[in-house]
Chain A
Amino acid sequence: MKLSTVQTDAIQELANIGAAHAATTLSTMLGSSVEMSVPAIKAIDISELGTYMGEESAAMVAFELQGEIQHGGYIIFYITKESSIRLTNTMLGLTDMNRSMNEMDESALIEVGNIMVSAFLDATAELLGFIMLPSPPALSLDMAHAAMSSLIAQMGDDVNEVLLFSTELICEEHKIDSDIIMLPESKTLEKIVEMMENMMKGV
């Protein structure tokens, strides 16, 4: 689906509100301030995915979008491996950066992903009057491209181009850099655009 400038702006605003809520929850969990980037919407040809997400190790907590639309695509809490160790160290009161990840880290990452994605979707549901619920989370600690391409392969739309909505959340104090990425199916995107347009007409 090709988006007009107005539609892109509308979705950017939606992602902005969702990510602001997620940033607030992250800030509360870490006890320090979290900065947020302007949400970026990128249309990426699947053959070019490797130039955005390559071999780097990252943690991805992925949720299927459910609720009013079944199998609506995915929403992902993405965090680089270095940042994920800093994040779990901060939460667990540890300092060793060179340790390997264990089950405790995995549980902590899933929990953080769960809380942030729930905050994101609560905020967007309130704004749109249209409910998207997260499925139970699934975690991958692996090459970013391997995890992301596997989610794209599972989408119902057999796509050659994916629309990625991503907002960067940065905690300067603990040097934690993370992203919330949405990978909507076309029916979800159409619904979001429609609800946003209705909302703007109503104002």
Chain B
Amino acid sequence: MADPVPPNGQTAMIGIGEYRVGSFPMMTIGLGSCIGLTLYDDSLKVGAMVHIMLPESAGREDRPGKYADTAIPLLLKELGAHGCKSRSLVAKMAGGACMFEYFGTNLNIGERNAEKVRALLKEHNIPLIKEDVGGKVGRSVTFHPASGGKVNVRRADGTTGVL
């Protein structure tokens, strides 16, 4: 199970393929085609965040947080262990950009990531209540489970947003 407390009460930094569960602030920096996905239970003020890189694991089990199809069941299991019921969860996501237009030849990975996450959330009946995806811009995302599951987005162009 993911460690429920962050190091030294700081914001937990979540690298590619990593995830955390708890009530402390969590952050992913520089999302390009990757997705920062949060699941949140308002009755418990507990949430989870994962930094997804690719849509499909193709059977790989070594890093479940790296792929959309293994990350979502994993987060549901971890949140369940914290007492969250899947029917009380809501989801938000950011990222899924296309940073290099020319290399769009083998389909846009950012778009595929976002589509896969949407489909899986639907499958698990978890409403996706807010999203900031696509475009050609990098995003850093901070998730605050203790403050109502607020997600702050900062884009590379200096603009900000709240999900």
Question: A residues engaging B (CB < 8 A)?
Answer: 46-50, 53-55, 57, 62, 64, 135-140, 142-154, 158, 160
Contacts and interface: CB of A to CB of B under 8 A. Distances in A.
A145 B109 CA distance: 16
A142 B138 contact: yes
Interface residues of B, number: 34
B100 A153 contact: no
Nearest to A45: B15
Contact of B31 (A48, A53, A135, A146): A146
Query: Residue among B99, B106, B109 with the most chain A CB within 10 A?
Result: B99
Interface string B1-35: 00000000000010111100000000001111110
Given A139-B100, A145-B29, A146-B97, 13 more contacts: A46-B17, A50-B13, A50-B30, A142-B99, A142-B138, A145-B32, A146-B31, A147-B99, A150-B33, A150-B98, A153-B34, A153-B109, A154-B103
23 contacts: A46-B16, A46-B17, A47-B15, A50-B30, A53-B30, A54-B29, A62-B103, A142-B137, A142-B138, A142-B156, A143-B32, A145-B138, A146-B32, A146-B137, A146-B156, A149-B31, A149-B34, A150-B32, A150-B109, A152-B53, A153-B34, A153-B54, A160-B66
B61 interface: no
A138 B100 contact: yes
Query: Residue among A55, A57, A62, A135 with the most chain B CB within 10 A?
Result: A55
A158 B99 CA distance: 19
Interface of B: 13, 15-18, 29-34, 53-54, 58, 60, 62-63, 66, 97-103, 106, 109-110, 136-140, 156
B102 A136 contact: yes
Nearest to B106: A154
A74 to B, nearest CB: 9
B54 to A, nearest CB: 6
Contact of A47 (B16, B30, B110): B16
Chain B interface helix/strand/loop/mixed: loop
B29 to A, nearest CB: 5
Given A47-B15, A146-B156, A149-B16, A138 B32 contact: no
Contacts of A135: 102
Contacts of A152: 16, 53
Contact of B29 (A62, A64, A143, A154): A143
Contact of A55 (B15, B30, B101): B30
A138 B60 contact: no
A144 B54 CA distance: 19
Contacts of A149: 16, 30-34, 53
B54 A46 contact: no
Contact of B62 (A62, A142, A160): A160
Contacts of A64: 103
A22 B110 CA distance: 32
A186 B30 CA distance: 25
A49 B110 contact: no
A54 B32 CA distance: 12
Contacts of A49: 15-16
Nearest to A156: B106
